[in-house]
Chains A and B, each alone.
Chain A
Amino acid sequence: MISAYLIHLLILIGIYLILSISLQLSVGFTGLLNLGHIAFYAIGAYTSALLALNGFPFWFCFLSAGILAMIFGFLLSLPTNKLKGDYLALATMGFSFVVYAVLLNWTSLTRGPLGLPGIPKPKIFGISFSDNLSFLILVAIIALISYLIIKRITVSPFGKVLEATRDNELLTRVLGKNTFKIKTISLMISAFFAGISGSLYAHYITFIDPSSFTILQLIPVLSIIIIGGLASLKGTIIATIILVLLPEPLRFIGFPSSIVGPARQILYSLILLFILIYKPKGFFGKIELE
């Protein structure tokens, strides 16, 4: 059954899509170079997993994952609201490290490096999503709803203010907009979607450990939004599909077995490099961050 392999890849695309369009909202549309996104993803995954392992129903775990991540988004925005550009990037990156360290060391809750095995597959009102095809439908619906919500936000007047804040924060404040509040809301929405994406990941793979949530895991997501083009949702979708699928054809190139691992990664990064050389702003990029 080749289709099972493709279904698996489509599920990964769905999970990454939610993660990358939410990062696009804070980085592309609001101009917050947010490297703490993976931490929201981690918080979502662990919240959902721990609740589910203690017998709570999936919809509750799923929403709690989003809401708890959103609360942490709010908390992160408090100390970082006045920071910009590289400084914000460093501060949010610090947040990622803190969350990672907590997951690793709070062993009585998270079981530390051993991780949480046996996370149940989702079940909503008696409908079980235990096989991959039904899980794909669930992920597709959630990804579509997330996309529509974020699309709606970006075309709304609020979305225009977000972009104005990104382009010229001082001018936006002169026009009477509370940019601190706007940035906080943007970060919270972004964190919410990262959280639910983490929840889907945890229930799909059924095993999580802190090593899935290091800063290195953020790099593919950042690559997606940069290659897709900042502030472009269409570009993000296309880039998600390409970046998730790209390693797969490389598996069928017959490298000698002793160099198979490194050779595929070299080829993968070369392709990404060429895309950025020919399209420095990504596929549909409208802006460049300072």
Chain B
Amino acid sequence: MNKSTKIIIGIIVAVIVGIWYGLSKKTTTPTTKETIKIGAMLPLSGKNALNGQYIQQAIILAQEEINQNGGINGKKLEIIFEDDQCDPKVGATIAQKLINVDKVPLVLGPWCSSVALAVAPTFENSKTIMIAEVITPKLTTAGDYIFRVQPTGAFYMKTLAEEVVKSLEIKKAGVMYIGNDYGVSVKDAFVREFENNGGTIVDVEQYMDKQTDFRTELMKILQKNPQAILLASYAQDAGLILKQAKELGINVQFLGVPALENKDLIKIAGEAAEGLIYPYHFNFENPNENVQKFVSSYTSKFGHPPDGFAVLMYDGTYIAAKILEKCNSDTECMKNELYNNTFKRVTEIRFDSNGDPLLPINLKTIKNGQFVPYEK
């Protein structure tokens, strides 16, 4: 046997022993009696790592609070974090590991739509609860055990359209939307809801990703005399649109989507962003005790304020704790609990029959460069 063969055999043996050790350690540890394990799969490296990090911090904060207050039925909550890298293939491996090796009854995440769609059938078949945080409309019909804490774009539009017609008395609106599936689905939802509430859509203009000049589209919409224009956009393009609209002297009410609550919008649009109205699921200035405690302990622990994603998964972790407390690891029972209860912590979440969240959506606006609740 020559040297290289020995080295190779050595490596293979080491890898196999490593897996063996890991597997046996996980299955025979006696501590399983005192802890309840759940999984969390998030993008913790790569280009989406920042979003993953905020959510992970929210989960860690919730976990610490739960354990300080006596855990779940006296057992400590243990969370196994896995990095899915936003890659469906890695996600599939993690799903198998969490289900079969760690035997978790419940998984928080994923955040990436592609991973969520790839792993949803695996979780559904093994009757493992998944509480995801993704926006893709496709997840709605993924199965009975599949839940999410992030509402779809269409859900926000329902509140927006209703409020705009009823309390702002806007009857004629135009829409500008980005030419991808996100833009299209939000636009369709808004048009449907707006017309259902008795409004009229006067014009719909599409623009392309990475476009930087929107004057043509703005002028076209303006000829139809709308009272308001909805921007189904991301923060960067919406910022440019608002800025150019102000330069053109356009004076109509602009409406937005939740994705616009982003510092980039104010950086790009400056004063032009003032007065934009958009729907959102959370208000950081809410005087509610839970909200203020969450925002201040998150900020002091991690050195930066939470974002909208962190808020929802913080609640997601509490929802998980609550159903674990009631059902131990009976996922059938957990599923029914999720469908039949309203969960109140920082936000107030109830799940519809598809596992999509119904939570109170309020209008917000921009005042002096800050995102604040809208008051008429």
Spell out A's residues near B (CB within 8 Å): 1-5, 8-9, 12, 107, 111-115, 117, 201, 205-209, 211-212, 238, 241-242, 245-246, 248-249, 251-252, 257-258, 260-262, 264-265, 275, 278-279, 283-284
Query: Count the A-B residue pairs with Cβ separation under 8 angstroms: how many?
Result: 121
Evaluate contact between A8 and B180: CB separation under 8 angstroms: no
Cβ 8 A contact of A12, one of B44, B52, B89, B99:
B89
CB distance from B144 to the nearest CB of A (A): 16
Whether B266 is near chain A, meaning CB under 8 Å from some CB there, is no
CA of A251 to CA of B90, assembled, Å: 12
Evaluate contact between B114 and A111: CB separation under 8 angstroms: no
| Given A2-B101, A117-B117, A206-B121, A251:B44 Cβ within 8 A | no
Cβ 8 A contact of A2, one of B4, B100, B181:
B100
Evaluate contact between B97 and A5: CB separation under 8 angstroms: yes
Whether B33 is near chain A, meaning CB under 8 Å from some CB there, is no
CB distance from B110 to the nearest CB of A (A): 12
Contacts of B113 in A (CB 8 A): 114-115
Cβ 8 A contact of B96, one of A4, A209, A261, A284:
A4
Whether B19 is near chain A, meaning CB under 8 Å from some CB there, is yes
Evaluate contact between B21 and A249: CB separation under 8 angstroms: yes
| Given A4-B99, A257-B79, A117:B45 Cβ within 8 A | no
Cβ 8 A contact of B8, one of A209, A212, A238, A264:
A238
List 10 contacting pairs A-B, 8 Å CB cutoff, sorted by A.
Answer: A5-B97, A211-B114, A238-B8, A248-B93, A249-B22, A252-B18, A252-B21, A257-B60, A257-B79, A264-B83
CA of A111 to CA of B137, assembled, Å: 13
Cβ 8 A contact of A107, one of B4, B85, B181:
B181
| Given A249-B21, A252-B26, A278-B7, A207:B100 Cβ within 8 A | no
Evaluate contact between A261 and B86: CB separation under 8 angstroms: no
Evaluate contact between B88 and A251: CB separation under 8 angstroms: no
Cβ 8 A contact of A260, one of B16, B83, B93, B121:
B83
A-B pairs, 10 with minimum CB distance: A261-B44, A249-B18, A252-B22, A261-B83, A261-B45, A8-B96, A207-B118, A5-B100, A207-B117, A4-B100
Evaluate contact between A207 and B88: CB separation under 8 angstroms: yes
| Contact residues of B between 89 and 122, Cβ < 8 Å to A | 89, 92-93, 96-97, 99-101, 113-114, 117-118, 121
Residue on B nearest A117 in the bound complex, by CB? B117
Whether B23 is near chain A, meaning CB under 8 Å from some CB there, is yes
How large, as a class, is the contact surface on chain B?
35 or more
CA of A225 to CA of B81, assembled, Å: 31
Whether B82 is near chain A, meaning CB under 8 Å from some CB there, is yes
Contacts of A107 in B (CB 8 A): 180-181
4 further A-B contacts with Cβ under 8 Å, apart from A114-B181, A115-B114, are A112-B181, A252-B19, A261-B83, A279-B4
Evaluate contact between A265 and B4: CB separation under 8 angstroms: no
Residue on A nearest B26 in the bound complex, by CB? A252
| Given A115-B117, A251-B82, A261-B83, A205:B138 Cβ within 8 A | no
| Given A117-B138, A205-B118, A8:B92 Cβ within 8 A | yes
Whether B15 is near chain A, meaning CB under 8 Å from some CB there, is yes
Whether B12 is near chain A, meaning CB under 8 Å from some CB there, is yes
CA of A246 to CA of B15, assembled, Å: 6
| Contact residues of B between 60 and 100, Cβ < 8 Å to A | 60, 79, 81-83, 85-89, 92-93, 96-97, 99-100
CA of A258 to CA of B56, assembled, Å: 8
Whether B376 is near chain A, meaning CB under 8 Å from some CB there, is no
Contacts of B83 in A (CB 8 A): 260-261, 264-265
Contacts of A260 in B (CB 8 A): 44, 81-83
CB distance from A20 to the nearest CB of B (A): 15
CA of A264 to CA of B100, assembled, Å: 21
Residue on B nearest A271 in the bound complex, by CB? B11
CB distance from A271 to the nearest CB of B (A): 9
Cβ 8 A contact of B49, one of A2, A245, A257, A261:
A261
Contacts of A212 in B (CB 8 A): 87-89, 114
Contacts of B283 in A (CB 8 A): none
Whether B136 is near chain A, meaning CB under 8 Å from some CB there, is yes
| Contact residues of B between 35 and 69, Cβ < 8 Å to A | 43-45, 49, 52, 56-57, 60
CA of A5 to CA of B96, assembled, Å: 5
Contacts of B4 in A (CB 8 A): 279, 283-284
Evaluate contact between A209 and B88: CB separation under 8 angstroms: yes
Evaluate contact between B44 and A262: CB separation under 8 angstroms: yes
Contacts of A275 in B (CB 8 A): 11
Evaluate contact between B15 and A251: CB separation under 8 angstroms: no
Evaluate contact between B15 and A242: CB separation under 8 angstroms: yes
CA of A284 to CA of B5, assembled, Å: 9
